[in-house]
């Protein structure tokens, strides 16, 4: 089974690309989605102890949590030390199931793949990219987003050009959905042909 890491900076089209892999029947584990599930279940009580104001009516208020940790490296570190092991456990169960299902390829969709050393857990890495102008336009079009928040998020992410240098495959979303879909299909074909040669 080939484990493919999928990453890309904010606004590059990584989630859309992950959906393209799903459309080709490739199982995808979404690290962000796992975090959101944890914020509604297992992580609620420990987070209430760590950051009491971040839990409202038994659920984590993600905006409040973001406000608490965004510019405080110490608090961000405490949050990550709590959440990352929980996400890794969900990932482990996902891979276990995929192996039982004899999936030839799986995708681990991890926004901070390089920043957290995740490239060491995968066989190859796909980086989703676009121009900075395109990225900025997409991100600033989101609600609850502004230039300051965008720049703060970018600072925590490895620059796009460095990600591209580390990539085994690149999906450029600059040219639109159909082009990106063709690139995804090409990657899958290459990996399946490698698998068949083993």
Q: What is the mean pLDDT of the chain?
A: 91
Q: What is the dihedral of CA 94, 95, 96, 101, to 10 degrees?
A: 90
What are the distances in angstroms from CA 195 to CA 1, 29, 85? 8, 20, 30
In a shared domain, residues 40 and 134: no
Question: Using one digit for the tens of pLDDT, what is the confidence trace for 41-91?
Answer: 899 999 999 999 999 888 899 889 988 987 788 998 899 899 989 999 999
Q: Are 16 and 23 in contact, with CB atoms under 8 Å apart?
A: no
Q: What is the CATH number of the domain that holds 10?
A: 3.40.50.300
Question: Do residue 89 and residue 109 come from a single domain?
Answer: no
Among the three residues 102, 124, 158, which one is the final residue of a domain in this structure? Answer: 102
- The Cα–Cα gap between 68 and 72 comes to 7
Question: Structural domain of residue 20, as residue ranges?
Answer: 1-27+105-198
Out of 63, 87, 102, a domain closes at 102
148 with 60, same domain?
no
Q: Residue 193: which pLDDT band, with cuts at 50, 70 and 90?
A: confident
Number of domains in the chain: 2
For 90-102, the DSSP string reads HHHHHHHHHHHTT
Do 10 and 84 have their domain in common?
Answer: no
Tokens representing 30 are 């979404």
Are 65 and 158 in the same domain? no
Q: Are residues 59 and 47 in the same domain?
A: yes
Neighbours of 138 (CB within 10 A): 16
* Same-domain pairing of 18 and 39: no
114-130: per-residue pLDDT in tens? 988 889 999 999 999 99
């Amino acid at each position: 089974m080939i484990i493919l890491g999928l990453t890309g900076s904010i606004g590059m089209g990584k989630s859309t690309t992950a959906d393209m892999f799903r459309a080709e029947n490739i199982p995808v584990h979404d690290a962000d989605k796992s975090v959101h599930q944890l914020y509604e279940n297992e992580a609620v009580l420990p987070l209430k102890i760590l950051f009491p104001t971040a839990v409202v009516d038994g659920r984590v208020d993600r905006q409040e949590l973001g406000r608490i940790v965004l510019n405080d490296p110490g608090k961000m570190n405490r949050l990550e030390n709590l959440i990352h092991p929980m996400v890794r456990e969900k990932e482990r169960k996902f891979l276990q199931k995929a192996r039982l299902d004899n999936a030839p390829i799986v995708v681990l969709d991890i926004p901070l793949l390089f920043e957290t050393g995740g490239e060491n857990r995968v066989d190859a890495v796909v980086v989703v990219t676009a121009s900075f102008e395109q990225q900025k336009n997409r991100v600033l079009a989101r609600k609850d987003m502004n230039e300051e928040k965008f720049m703060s998020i970018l600072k925590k992410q490895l620059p796009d050009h460095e990600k591209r240098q580390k990539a085994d495959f690149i999906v450029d979303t600059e040219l639109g959905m159909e082009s990106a879909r063709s690139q995804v299909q090409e990657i899958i074909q290459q990996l399946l042909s490698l698998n068949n040669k083993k």
